[in-house]
Amino acid sequence: MNERERILYLREQIEYHRKKYYLEDAPEISDAEFDRMYRELEVLEKEHPEMHDDNSPIYRVGGAVLEKFEKHTHSVPLKSLTDVFSYEELADFISKTSDCGGYTVEKKIDGLSVALIYNGGRFISGATRGDGTVGEDVTSNLRTVNSIPMTIPYKGYLEVRGEIFMPRSSFEKLNAERETTGEPLFANPRNAAAGSLRQLDSSITAKRNLDIFVFNLQKCDKQFETHAQTLDFIRSNGFHVLEYRLASTLDAVISRIEEIGAARAGLPYDIDGVVIKVNDLRERVRLGEGTNVPKWAVAYKFPPEQKRTTLLDIFVQVGRTGVLTPNALLSPIRLAGSTVSKATLHNIDNIRMKDIRPGDTVIVQKAGDIIPEVVDSVKDERHYTLPEYAMPARCPSCGEEVIRIEGEAKTVCTNAACPAQRQRSIEHFASKDAMNIDGMGPAAVKSLLDAGLISGIADLYSLDAEELEKLDRMGKKSADNLLLSVERSKSAGLARLIYALGIQNVGEKAGKALARRYGDIEKLFGASVEEIASIPDFGMITAECVVSFFSHPQTRVLIDRLKDAGVVTTSETEIPGDGVFSGKTFVLTGTLPSLKRSEAAAIIEERGGKTSSSVSKNTDYVLAGEDAGSKLTKAQTLGVPIIDEETFLKMAGTTPE
């Protein structure tokens, strides 16, 4: 066997054993033997560059670094499904399709939808769902997913759709690593999978241990009669395919849903529902499809997962504006894809209303499957007298007296020099949506404060490289990168600066509105409450907060120091009243192919429009991306125009980067 034959042989053997390990969970050789073959192939391919093949196993480790993702237009649209949230809604779907010959019932993986294209038995390319019509070409990243075969037995044209996900064990490991390095944690496995698949450096994706379940045949030269046949065909070609069940009645479908729901917590991956599809492909054609959803399938969505645990204690955190927020310390539980040991209790009124007491058995869920919260206490299991919880009379950070804001549920520390407020105000100032100082996370801020290198936000602009290098886990390279990020933040702009200052009730949108209206931070020192309250979407309370902030002598000193450091405090983006989106209201939903929602919102606001978080009859446009949910459904019901990113950019008079 010559070296070329050996390369082909090793590729075939490695792919075979990869399939046995990752797809069949039935390895035939040891990890050491697999690694030995891999290393041999790696050496041989370097010696024979003329044998290069993108589908070679050695490229599963990644290495391609892109400047951006190219757009990919799907040959068959990747449509979303109509969501149903009750058995009554499900029964309505079944009644409309009861003469179609039965259904397939499948788990709904909570991940990121992709299309995979094969021809001649080889993986050609793959792309994200995007808006269903246009996605992003992420071929190099998909090659790193071990459960995606690079070669298949079928030699004709084949396009399949699957869901990329991150197993729970991989998610926990990744977050543990990020916590150690001081990086922001991913909210859930779906969030982690989406972020991993959209890395411009494929070697990063390769380390994230992504997986896939293929659930639909999009396009194929071969003909089939049922969806079940297509799934069996897909599985026979080496793809991960979820178990499906056939059902012909509503009772049978519900029985399977409840069976899946009962097993949900024990699965090694996250699911958020069950998909019910008409099995007969000819009946699907007869039923047809709507603009964005097929009429032959629905997704039954599970209600938020709730679990019981013990409330060990209630502890208070002091926010950047001095507000004291009570939080629950819980006996750890596994909930909606992650381990939960803490949950928000919002405020003292919420605690009183639900009669929550330390020592109680409580019911916990994740709001939006992201933020853990205590739903209620289980009074029947309170076997002994527990005292009511009372908010502390003094700030747990600085020891100063706290006050209850009249007419509100807020308890506030009024000490401007409170250490907790100081740390969180600096964290907020440096955060991504504010001044975007990369590397200035909670751990870094605490380290700088403890070392006495900073005492407030203005001190960030006088940091010294030599002093930084002396800090634990810093080093010269990290110090240089941090100082470079601090320098870049000087040109973040007036809108970001206003938001970064942490003014009570002033968020990103309010910061942008103030920057557009005044154009120079100096003008805010003389602005009146009535003048600011006249800005659209501003109220008297927010206006009073702004005027109060700029009336403090400390604010004058702070702004002067920032200006002396070279921080930009003016804006050149004042919006004329006749902007292309003037008077228009947009709602953003789903994941856009190339723009972040914040970037799309900035384009809207720069052109005189505004964004809203909810769809109503007053909404002018819904800008929808991948995995658009209930907002898209409501827009369809109300007849609100729905546009994709490409249409939006044309309307805005720009083109994607």
* Catalytic residue ranges: 108
Phi, psi of 72 (to 5 degrees): -135, 125
Please state whether beta strands 324-335 and 306-318 pair in parallel, antiparallel, or not at all (unpaired): antiparallel
CA 454 to chain centre: 32
* Pairwise CA distance, residues 635 & 641, whole Å: 7
Which residues are 366's β-sheet partners?
A: 372
3-state secondary structure of 551: helix
Tokens 């200006």 identify what position? 563
* Amino acid residing at 439: G
Closest CA to 443 of 176, 177, 179: 179
* Amino acid residing at 129: R
Tokens 């109060």 identify what position? 548
Q: What is the CA radius of gyration of the chain?
A: 28
Helix or strand holding residue 538 (H, E): none
* Pairwise CA distance, residues 364 & 310, whole Å: 10
Phi, psi of 267 (to 5 degrees): -75, 150
Burial 352-372 (b: 16+ CB within 10 A, else e): eebebbbbbbbbbbbeebeeb
Are 339 and 332 in contact by the 8 Å Cβ rule? The answer is yes
* Pairwise CA distance, residues 549 & 559, whole Å: 12
* Continuous H helices in 26-101: 31-47, 87-97
Phi, psi of 402 (to 5 degrees): -110, 160
Are 534 and 518 in contact by the 8 Å Cβ rule? The answer is no
Residue 147, both tokens: 């459960």
* Pairwise CA distance, residues 520 & 491, whole Å: 14
Are 320 and 502 in contact by the 8 Å Cβ rule? The answer is yes
Phi, psi of 146 (to 5 degrees): -65, -25
Residue 118, both tokens: 């094969």
Residue by residue, DSSP assigns 192-261 as: HHHHHHT-SBHHHHHTT--EEEEEEEEEESS--SBHHHHHHHHHHTT-----EEEE-SHHHHHHHHHHHH
- What is the rounded end-to-end Cα distance, in angstroms, of the chain? 50
* Pairwise CA distance, residues 245 & 295, whole Å: 20
Closest CA to 107 of 307, 239, 335, 269: 269
Are 215 and 164 in contact by the 8 Å Cβ rule? The answer is no
Q: What is the largest CA-CA distance in the chain?
A: 87
* Pairwise CA distance, residues 501 & 317, whole Å: 20
Share in percent of the chain as helix, strand, coil (round to 5): 40, 20, 40
